[in-house]
């Protein structure tokens, strides 16, 4: 990680409760649509900046879940996906649960991911997440996930077999990272505590402990929630990128508890609209800053070349068939054509549709001698942080 001390002191509880000092989603750009192996992804973490003090904050880290997957491999001698298949999927008869999009090719009745483009919900392609699959690569169904929830509610026992002990579950369901509960949050949810265990979010609703987690994939969101005291398990899978699952789960709990706290459907719609508007405003603000009728300060040939980031690797700017091209040798699905925006900034016109982002620019920056020597990305989104790529021109 960012220091030898933290690297040497970090343990699995730090990894699984997101208290290593890395910011939320920091480093996700390294694996997104790339062909990097899990080990290559993990090694890149040493180049990420510290966001808060070690063990004194929270930053949801997919890189740390990838690390946990490699720990499974090291301890058991099996790849993590083989271990979870033999340990969980097969004993539970989770026959429609897989760990790679490659396995979907032989399956029928598979949902398609969707994205909203220009106000219209449209299907998009499945994206392979094999490199980071330990963090978010499990693809399942409501039926299979219900079997998983039953195991959780039965404290790790299926039939007469103990898959994991109740002691282990208590450790997972104990807060290892505690969050401050604001007065408004307490009043709104009836919540007196909030935290993160080992791979589980923990909080309170209507005086009951809630164990929960969400998931996000290109074109699909999910929500799993357990209320152990009520023997209640809820799984919501959506093949679109909306927050409906987060609010629907409260509606279901209200109905089950027999006490309605509020109109969650109305609140969810308002919340989704606010989120969408805020995201669109970021893009609108970026577009509004464009200065029209400008010209580049340097000839196109000055932009062409190889740019290198210790964190990310090589990015190329090339001339192909008369067009300026941005190419990613380790993530070819991110390749794009560059179109002049203003001065030394170019708009990125992606070759493919991407779920988490659409509009973006890349700026070419020169040194004091007037030589273009680095690039800077500005691609508004909430997960894939291209600004973490600080690439210097090397050729």
Quick one: CATH architecture of 300-393? Beta Barrel (2.40)
| pLDDT at residue 160 tops 90 | no
pLDDT-derived band at 187 (thresholds 50, 70, 90) equals confident
* Percentage of the chain lying above the pLDDT 90 cut: 94
Phi/psi of residue 224, nearest 5 degrees: -120, 130
Average pLDDT, stretch 128-147? 96
Residues 303 and 153: their CA atoms lie apart, in Å, by 58
Torsion sign, CA atoms 375, 379, 384, 387: positive
Number of other residues whose CB lies within 10 A of the CB of residue 209: 15
* pLDDT in the model for residue 290: 96
* pLDDT in the model for residue 119: 86
pLDDT-derived band at 361 (thresholds 50, 70, 90) equals very high
The pLDDT tens digits for 91-108 are 999 999 999 999 998 899
Containing 211, the helix (H) or strand (E) segment is strand 208-217
The pLDDT tens digits for 204-215 are 999 999 999 999
Record the pTM: 0.92
| pLDDT at residue 126 tops 90 | yes
| pLDDT at residue 190 tops 90 | no
- For residue 54, what are the CA distances in angstroms to 1, 18, 19, 309? 11, 10, 6, 25
pLDDT-derived band at 395 (thresholds 50, 70, 90) equals confident
Which candidate, 201, 196, 200, 191, places its Cα nearest to that of 178?
196
Query: Would you kindly state where each structural domain of the chain is located, as residue ranges?
Result: 300-393
The pLDDT tens digits for 302-323 are 999 999 999 999 999 999 999 9
* pLDDT in the model for residue 155: 97
The pLDDT tens digits for 223-237 are 999 999 999 999 999
Beta-strand relationship, 391-393 and 305-309: antiparallel
Tokens of residue 365, six digits: 């920056």
Which candidate, 254, 247, 245, places its Cα nearest to that of 227?
254
Q: Which residues contact 372 (CB under 8 A, 6 or more apart)?
A: 298, 302, 303, 344, 364, 365, 366, 393
* pLDDT in the model for residue 118: 87
Least-confidence region, from 142-151, 253-262, 332-341: 253-262
Torsion sign, CA atoms 287, 292, 294, 296: positive
* pLDDT in the model for residue 6: 96
């Amino acid at each position: 990680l960012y220091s030898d001390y933290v690297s040497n002191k970090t343990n699995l509880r730090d990894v699984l409760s997101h208290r290593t000092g890395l910011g939320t989603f920091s480093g996700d750009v390294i694996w997104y649509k790339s062909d990097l192996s899990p080990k290559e992804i993990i090694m890149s973490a040493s180049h990420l900046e510290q966001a808060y003090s070690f063990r004194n904050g929270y930053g949801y880290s997919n890189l740390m879940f990838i690390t946990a997957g490699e720990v499974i491999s090291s301890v058991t001698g099996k790849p993590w996906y083989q271990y979870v298949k033999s340990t969980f999927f097969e004993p539970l008869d989770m026959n429609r649960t897989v760990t790679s999009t490659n396995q979907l090719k032989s399956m029928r009745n598979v949902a398609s991911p969707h994205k909203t483009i220009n106000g219209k919900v449209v299907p998009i392609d499945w994206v392979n997440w094999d490199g980071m699959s330990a963090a978010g690569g499990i693809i399942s169904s409501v039926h299979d996930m219900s079997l998983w929830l039953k195991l959780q509610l039965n404290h790790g026992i299926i039939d007469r077999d103990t898959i994991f002990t109740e002691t282990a579950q208590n450790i997972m369901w104990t807060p290892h990272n505690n969050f401050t509960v604001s007065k408004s949050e307490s009043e709104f949810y009836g919540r007196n505590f909030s935290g993160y265990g080992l791979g589980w979010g923990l909080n309170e609703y209507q005086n009951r402990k809630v164990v929960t987690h969400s998931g996000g994939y290109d074109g699909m969101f999910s929500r799993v929630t357990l209320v152990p005291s009520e023997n209640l398990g809820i799984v919501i899978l959506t093949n679109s990128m909306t927050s409906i699952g987060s609010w629907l789960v409260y509606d279901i709990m209200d109905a089950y508890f027999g006490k309605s706290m509020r109109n969650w459907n109305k609140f969810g719609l308002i919340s989704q609209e606010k989120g969408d508007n805020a995201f669109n405003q970021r893009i609108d603000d970026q577009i509004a800053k464009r200065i029209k009728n400008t010209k580049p300060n340097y000839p196109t040939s000055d932009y062409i070349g190889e740019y290198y980031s210790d964190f990310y690797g090589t990015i190329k700017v090339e001339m192909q068939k008369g067009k300026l091209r941005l190419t990613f040798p380790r993530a070819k699905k991110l390749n794009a054509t560059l179109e002049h925006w203003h001065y030394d900034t170019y708009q990125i016109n992606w070759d493919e549709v991407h779920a988490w982002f659409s509009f973006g620019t890349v700026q070419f920056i020169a040194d004091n001698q007037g030589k273009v020597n680095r690039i800077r990305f500005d691609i508004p989104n909430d997960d894939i942080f291209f600004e973490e790529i600080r690439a210097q021109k090397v050729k």
